[in-house]
Amino acid sequence: MKNFTPDLDRLKAMGRYRSVGLPAGVDFSSNDYLGLSTHPALRQAAIEALQGGIEIGATASRFLRGHRQAHEELESFAAAYYGCLRTLFFPNGFQANYALITTLIGRYDVAIFDALCHASMRDGLHAAQCMKVKISHNNLEAFEDALKKPIATGCNKWILVESIYSMDGDIAPVRELLMLAEKYDAILVVDEAHGTGVSGATGRGETEGFAHNRLI
């Protein structure tokens, strides 16, 4: 069996060894910008749902018996809110990115992704069998160069970005990327983890107002 001690020592030497600890002090590092984790209205909604008899846990996959009226209501509300045809919720962002990429991006497709895309997108891309092209951060010219390259008939070109980047807090040129997607017959995937509720004219994120069949 492999001894992991040298690996752990190496991580320690690089300052990359991590362990979990209880949070303390002022929060400058979580994603809870809007304070939703302690919002009274959300707490009340959870209490009412429990008192109303909602099950604890999914009981099964949604394909079996895990699909509930509450899911339907949430997803139709979100579709109307974002002005799109349908929405599909996942338990967390990691699963959403991983599932989307490994399910929709086919073996002979090409995924053109920003170098600062979140680890969940990178993990999805790692698992996907498609061709991958990493683009230096927010470099529209490099995105276009990659999009110009031909691919096999019946396959898709995908552009993957974040709207507001978690690492640097800067913004993707969503409008220009959507124009490139149109020009080169590609599909644009925008991870709005840090845009939802924070940016856009009414808080719907950087993609607000861009309801488009090339946008996910």
31 binds ligand PLP (CB under 6 A): yes
Q: Pick from 194, 199, 208, 204: which is nearest to 161 by CA?
A: 194
Q: Is 174 in the site for ligand PLP (CB under 6 A)?
A: no
CA distance 143 to 165: 17
Give the nearest distance from C-beta 36 to ligand PLP in angstroms: 12
E strands, the chain, in order:
110-114, 131-135, 157-162, 186-191
109 burial via Cβ count (<10 Å: 0-12, 13-18, 19+)? buried
Q: Which of 191, 196, 207, 208 binds ligand PLP (CB under 6 A)?
A: 191
Using alpha carbons, select from 110, 168, 108 the residue that is nearest to residue 138: 168
- 122 binding ligand PLP? (CB under 6 A): no
Residue of 97, 138, 196, 207 interacting with ligand PLP (CB under 6 A):
97
Residues 55-84 that bind ligand PLP (CB under 6 A): none
Of 31 and 129, CB closest to ligand PLP: 31
Only one of the segments 39-47, 51-59, 90-98, 196-204 lies at the binding site for ligand PLP (rule: CB under 6 A); that segment is 90-98
Task: Using CB under 6 A, pick the residue from 79, 87, 94, 144 that binds ligand PLP.
Answer: 94
Segment interacting with ligand PLP (CB under 6 A) among 36-44, 72-80, 132-140, 188-196: 188-196
Q: In this structure, how many other beta carbons lie within 10 angstroms of the beta carbon of residue 47?
A: 10
Mark out the alpha helices in the chain (DSSP H runs).
5-13, 40-51, 69-82, 93-104, 119-127, 140-148, 174-183
Residue with tokens 């552009």: 159
Whole-number Å distance between alpha carbons of 132 and 134: 7
CB 158 within 8 A of CB 132: no
Give the residue nearest to ligand PLP (CB).
93
Query: From CA 54, how far away is CA 66, in angstroms rounded?
Result: 12
Q: Does 157 bind ligand PLP (CB under 6 A)?
A: no
**Binding-site size, ligand PLP (CB under 6 A):** 12
Smallest distance, Å, CB 53 to ligand PLP? Answer: 27
Residue 196 within binding range of ligand PLP, rule CB under 6 A = no
Residues near ligand PLP, by CB under 6 A = 31, 92-94, 97, 118, 120, 162, 166, 191, 193-194
